[in-house]
Structure formats: structure tokens, C-alpha cells
Copies of this chain bind each other. A is one copy, B any other.
Amino acid sequence: MSKLILALDVLDEKKAMDIATKTAPYLHAIKVGYPLVLSSGMNIVEKLSRIKPVICDFKVADIPNTNRLITEIVRSKGAYGIIVHGFTGPDSVKAVVENAGNLHVYVIAEMSHPGATYIMQQHTDDIVRIARETGAHGLIAPATRPERLNHIRKIAGNMEILSPGVGAQGGKAREAIEAGADKVIVGRSIYNASDPAEAARRIHEELESI
């Protein structure tokens, strides 16, 4: 099984389907966000799901009732996973988990951009606790800060950790896995490569060799 998740952050549906098809043999799953979904419509989730399991990176951060509605729509399109924020508190996360069915729920323990250190990073431990207590499946933790990823691994119990920020953002696949990530998320280094399949194959093989 591959440890590689493709962050398919392109805006064009045809390009998205093309890259997904070519890279599929080397992927565990495909992560899509709002830019692609708002550009091409929510049916892109159904279409991509025929190729590989799809994780909707919607960073859901609303009141419980709205979180529930978003979760139900994501489920209805056959997605594999959903990514939510935990800073909104346990009731908001619980509303996702309780309505997730077979959807894997991933809570963002910490983000990878500079601004994440301003407020969010103070609450990483609280958010991991919320994720565990509400019964979420896994966590998102940054490959750009391996020492933080390692800290999150230590307090995460046996939750699955997905780690974005590998490649263009500076994170290293090997470092992320060694720090405790179960899977790494790679975007630009694959979808902007002249040969996306070859780029995915290489990262997949590097991950296999660890």
C-alpha cells in the first residue's frame, strides 16, 4: 500500500482527472480542496473516487449543525475522508464524527504556514485531545516542522497521521515518516512536474525504501 497522498490543487477539472489517472498507481489517496471543488462542482469528488479514495480537505470550521450538513454532503459523494479544524471546540468536531459513517475524519493538529504559530500552535495539545476524545480517525501534522510532527506523534496514541508540506513547501518525505507520519501529502512537486506520473513514482519508491 502506498504512503503517498496527492494534493490535487489544480482548478481545472480536465487537468485534475488527467493527473489523477496518470499518478493513481503510486497513490494511497487523492486530497482535494475548495478551490477545485468550487471551480468544477462537488461532482468532481464522485468522479475522482472512481480512480482513488478522495479526502475532502475542507478545513471544516463551523457551528455543529453546519459541520453536520457539510459532512453529509461529503459522504453522499462517496468520499473516503474529510479534514476538519478542531479549534472550534469538541461539539463542532463531534458533529462531524457522529455523522461521518464510513468517512475517515482527520483533525488538523497543526498547520504548516507561518501564521499557524501565532495562535493555533498554542493549542495543538488541546486539539489532539479533542480529536481523540471525539473519536476522530486521524490527524494532520506538518512535515515542514518535523519536531512538532514528532511531538504530535507522541500524544496521538494510535491515530493515523497525514503530513502535508512535503516538496515545494520544504518538508522531506523521509523526515516526515521518521518523525511519525503514516502518510505524506505532496502537491506541487507532482502536479507541476513535467511528468507527474514519474514524479509520483519516485516519491512512492522513496517512501517504500524507508
Choose one: B39, B61, B66, B127; the contact of A61 (CB below 8 Å): B61
Q: What's the least CB distance linking A56 to chain B, in Å? A: 10
Q: Please, which residues of chain B bring their CB within 8 A of the CB of A101? A: none
Q: What's the least CB distance linking A129 to chain B, in Å? A: 10
A50 in contact (CB, < 8 A): no
CA distance A124 to B38 in the complex (A): 29
Asked if residues B69 and A35 are in contact (CB atoms below 8 Å), the reply is yes
- Number of identical monomers bound together in the oligomeric complex: 2
Instruction: Name the residue of chain B whose CB is nearest to the CB of A68.
Output: B35
A196 in contact (CB, < 8 A): no
CA distance A190 to B189 in the complex (A): 48
Asked if residues B42 and A38 are in contact (CB atoms below 8 Å), the reply is yes
In this complex, the member of A34, A35, A58 whose beta carbon has the largest number of chain B beta carbons within 10 angstroms is A34
| 1-59 of chain A: CB within 8 A of chain B | 9, 11, 33-35, 37-39, 41-42, 58-59
Seen from chain A, the residues whose Cβ lies within 8 Å of a Cβ on chain B are: 9, 11, 33-35, 37-39, 41-42, 58-59, 61-64, 66, 69-70, 73, 85, 87-93, 111-120, 123, 126-127, 130
> What are 15 A-B pairs at a CB distance below 8 A?
A34-B70, A41-B41, A61-B61, A63-B111, A85-B85, A87-B119, A88-B111, A88-B115, A89-B116, A89-B120, A91-B113, A91-B115, A92-B115, A119-B123, A119-B126
Q: A9-B66, A34-B66, A88-B111 are in contact. List 13 more A-B contacts (CB 8 A).
A: A39-B73, A61-B61, A61-B85, A88-B115, A88-B120, A89-B113, A89-B115, A89-B120, A90-B118, A91-B115, A118-B130, A119-B126, A119-B127
